[in-house]
Amino acid sequence: MKTMLIKNARFIVQSLPFNILENGAIYIEDSHIQAVGPTADLAHYEPMADVVIDASDKLVMPGLVDAHNHVGECHMFTLFGFLASPLTGIGDALDRVVWPAWCWIPEEAAYDLEMLGFMHLLKSGTTTVQDCFMWPDEAGRAAVDSGLRVENSPTLVTSLRLKDSKGPEDDLARTEAAIQKWHGAANGRVTYRVHASATYNCHEWFLKECAALANRYDVGFATHLAESVDESKRARSVWPEGEVRRAYDLGLMGPKSLFFHSCVLNDEEMALYAETGSSAAHCPPTNSMLGNVAYVPKMMAMGVNVGLGTDMPTHDMFKAMLSVSQQHAIMPREMRGLMPWTPLEMATVNGARALNLQDEIGTLEPGKKADIITIDLSRNTRLFPLIPQVLSTFITVNGTGADVADVIVDGDLLMRDQQLVHLDEQAIMARAQGWADEFLAYYMDMVERGEPLIPYIHDEFQP
């Protein structure tokens, strides 16, 4: 049995908004929190602790939950330096940037690219991530080795052929094999969700098969839904009922369903989310780059659970929380603004609920998994003055991933005083840089020769 004691914590954010303990301690056995309380009350645990962390100058809080990310796509960002004109919407971004990057990824690169993204998340305080990627077996191996809590969602699509695909039926079979092999691996730290890429780039029969696969193994279902205005308009030209009602009619919505983005929802569609218990993953930095912002205040008022995601491996959850705070205060809508602590709730308890992990993570209390981060307060003027009543606000508005000092996942210490414990940072970065260089060379060569970068199979938005 492994044991750990965090003592003398300046503050412990047990739950939001104001359940904050001063001079507190947390005792961990194996993967679970056993006790939380004043340091003096937990002092008897110190002799039996294998690891003792003195958190006198630290804030201790739940690890952050990234409800939507594409962790292994770091190489994609090399293309932004070669754009001849601004991206005009999600369709344009997919055609010019995303699909060429995804369709290139060879099996040999998959693990290394995933590991770079996981390492960045770890260093910036994310302890749980919902990861959409191809190569489901390599993604599972990387998730185990990363030390993070990972819900893998292999990317499934019928409108084009990804590098790992031999066809839709084979894609479903490999996803099922990955579920059988990796779901519940690493003491339950790694799980799987069935992920049809989007409702408009998958044939209807395939969407139904994805939902059936999720039901067969009692795992979640996920897809990108209602991401942008241009997508929504085109969808309604094909499906007059709209893509959300169509998803409902196809049986895709339910308490284990997670819909990424959900930027363009009317009242009826928000009500469908609430009625079915479906969750949304709000990704404000990337959505706003393409001119879309979900109506989060109204969604929450209507009872929709909204988690927070970064959508890309180079962002972190602190940036996402700041974006939420800003965007929903300035959007010219009837319902504006969020309570100061709401973005932090979205990044912890709401994200946990979106991944159906609310009984395991999201708060620091006995019986829950020991997924914990600390923030260094010793030289942190951004989080000053240090009084409990403003901490959640300061974390949301002023915190940065660079402030994270220690990271614990499933009771394992992954970073101590900003030093990674088990990952070789330079080696991981070097391998990922090599793959990014190789991808860029491939891309430029294909463009020079006038060869297609995307192996399309059928048009999107099929009637």
As a whole number of angstroms, the longest Cα–Cα distance in the chain is: 71
Query: What DSSP element (H or E) covers 232?
Result: helix 229-238
Give the CA radius of gyration of the chain: 22
Domains of the chain by start residue, with CATH:
3-62+362-420 (2.30.40.10), 64-354 (3.20.20.140)
pLDDT tens across 273-304, in order? Answer: 999 999 999 999 999 888 899 999 999 999 99
Tell me: the pLDDT tens digits for 314-353? 999 999 999 999 999 999 899 999 999 999 999 999 999 9
User: According to the model, what pLDDT value does residue 58 have?
Assistant: 96
Per-residue model confidence (pLDDT) at position 394 = 85
DSSP-derived pairing of the beta strands 412-416 and 190-198: unpaired
**pLDDT of 440:** 96
Region of residue 231 (left: phi > 0; alpha: psi -120 to 50; beta: else): alpha
Q: How far apart are the C-alpha atoms of 184 and 233, rounded to whole Å?
A: 40
Within a 13 Å sphere around the CA of 32, how many CA atoms are in the beta-carbon half? 9
Q: How far is CA 230 from CA 68, 90, 380, in A?
A: 21, 8, 43
Residue 377's closest CA among 366, 364, 388?
388
Pick out the chain residues at pLDDT < 70. Answer: 383
DSSP string, 48-62: G-SEEEE-TTEEEEE
